[in-house]
Structure 1
């Protein structure tokens, strides 16, 4: 009997679930959105001692927004509205609605704001990250129908040598080197390609000499909306899709996590990914909210899966120090 009891005790101890197994991660209470209200397709950037977010204004079926806003922060957590920085009916002669998916780059002391409008891509220029932005062309930078796929979702990578590369396109990815003026390019030099699973929202970054091209898969109205990536030795490719994709996707109460941007905190190897998810509660592909999460790399340079339930770090650019902020 003694041996039977001892055997049962050992058996129960070996088969008992661990603490982690008994207490699975909470996927019902997501961190709060970074911005109040409904905003999507966020582009996150750091200029000087300030962080900036440039999102799509959401909340209309068919994505019929007509203006863009800018938000600023000193710590990635507390965001201040800088107001409307580009109003299509007021500031453009060639588009009045469908203001989508902006991006920003700086070069030679100017700020260049790239955006989708009327299913074309425009560019505006300002002396400050908060504008006012002016249309230098009076027409699209890339016109609807000029290339395969839908002409939306621009992103510009400025390389270490100062050369700038424009990525864009839904259904087909395009990349081209911009001219030094940042508002023109040679159409004959555009490279078209489509990584497996590619849909839209391309974003490029460079880390330790390697180029990363990221994009969103599925449709933004699909709860499976997610982010994958490929790598290359050149900003023009060819890009090879990585293993371990997607690196960003919904889980639990978080649905439709995608259409992102990535920012390196200046002076560090800390990275933050900005993205949207269906608004919680009751959101959908037309009612999305902007979120921030840490993004990390392993020792081989692979992007690790992002935890959409991990709080963003409250970080000052000036010090580079951070502390965890509770959701």
Structure 2
């Protein structure tokens, strides 16, 4: 597949692609109270975006609309997204769910001014693994008010998704936290993140891709961990990070993976739009992904060249 990087979509974050009936639908953090959807037939040429979700009085959130992911369940499309719960003045991120008959929307909130669940702490970055008859729901615990040994820390949890696709079963199970040396680099404030989970099943094992460090830092990158059970425990790759800053891209992270029409896997992620000025302005990259010796492997992209 001929893909040229970077993809001409910028000022976004946390890109996610759904492949459905011959088309690719890209959703991302878009810096307004909702989300756009970009549509392509080849992941190279993208149409002008349409607004696929916008907050209403029914929404639980009123700001911080981040990291949407969309799944097809029983004839409908479900969007899981992060937002600031409007009943709080301080940061209180939660995850909501909206539904549509079409992948490009419009999506409407399922619940009335309520998030999917409330475990008493901030959560973000929803992701779902479909595994046989079970669906597993992964999320990050927000680090703004979570301190471990004097440092802010974001961790990754897992819980089973309910049969209604809008509830969860039980409490979240902690499965990943920032422990490797590369994950504990900081500039100024001590804040160590594990976030943006994405899980793939390969030969009976579960590989979780995740991002670490601060998104607006050149130290942001993608790591991976593996488990024999979707609920963990997960063991991190010794060669982490599997994707990180080079001389041509800065801060690659918060990825998703799509199996394309050609039968191959592609990793979709963001990196800083301005190499020397890391910030929330990020652009989309798409890189082939493969498994080698039981582990995920990706090549760093070559800019404006075919992949």
Aligned partner of residue 186 in structure 1, secondary structure: strand
Deviation at 1:283, TM superposition (A): 4.4
Match of 2:173 among 175, 185, 191: 191
Deviation at 1:306, TM superposition (A): 2.9
Q: Report the structure number with the largest CA radius of gyration.
A: 1
- Indicate whether 1:99 and 2:65 are aligned: yes
Aligned partner of residue 285 in structure 2, secondary structure: strand
Equivalent residues of 2:117, 2:168 under 8 A apart: no
Match of 1:259 among 231, 254, 261: 254
- Indicate whether 1:175 and 2:158 are aligned: yes
Give the helix-richer structure, 1 or 2. Answer: 1
Q: Deviations over 1:163-190 (max 9, x none)?
A: 21110014121111111110011233x2
CA distance in 2, matches of 1:173, 1:256: 20
CA distance in 2, matches of 1:85, 1:99: 13
CA distance in 2, matches of 1:91, 1:208: 45
Equivalent residues of 2:59, 2:109 under 8 A apart: no
- Indicate whether 1:226 and 2:224 are aligned: no
Q: Deviations over 1:230-286 (max 9, x none)?
A: 111221111111122111112113111111111122572x21111111113664222
Q: Name the counterpart of 1:34.
A: 7
CA distance in 2, matches of 1:308, 1:205: 21
Listed as ranges, the matches of 1:72-111 within 5 Å are 72-88=39-55, 90=56, 92-111=58-77
CA distance in 2, matches of 1:99, 1:35: 22
- Indicate whether 1:202 and 2:197 are aligned: yes
Equivalent residues of 1:217, 1:227 under 8 A apart: yes
Equivalent residues of 1:121, 1:154 under 8 A apart: yes
CA distance in 2, matches of 1:258, 1:306: 14
Q: Name the counterpart of 2:240.
A: 245
CA distance in 1, matches of 2:244, 2:260: 23
Aligned partner of residue 297 in structure 1, secondary structure: strand
Q: Name the counterpart of 1:68.
A: 35
Match of 1:115 among 81, 85, 96: 81
Equivalent residues of 1:38, 1:290 under 8 A apart: no
TM-score normalised by the chain length of structure 2: 0.82
CA RMSD of aligned residues (A): 2.0
Deviation at 1:217, TM superposition (A): 0.9
TM-score normalised by the chain length of structure 1: 0.77
Q: Name the counterpart of 1:155.
A: 127
Q: Which stretches of structure 1, 4 residues or more, deviate above 4 A after TM superposition?
A: none
Aligned partner of residue 166 in structure 2, secondary structure: coil
CA distance in 2, matches of 1:255, 1:247: 14
CA distance in 2, matches of 1:180, 1:310: 43
Structure 2: unaligned runs, 5 residues or longer: 85-92, 142-153, 184-192
Aligned partner of residue 72 in structure 2, secondary structure: strand
Equivalent residues of 2:138, 2:157 under 8 A apart: yes
Aligned partner of residue 94 in structure 1, secondary structure: coil
Give the strand-richer structure, 1 or 2. Answer: 2
Structure 1: unaligned runs, 5 residues or longer: 1-30, 59-64, 313-323
CA spacing shift, 1:201–1:165, aligned 2, 3 Å = same
CA distance in 2, matches of 1:151, 1:205: 22
CA spacing shift, 1:193–1:256, aligned 2, 3 Å = same
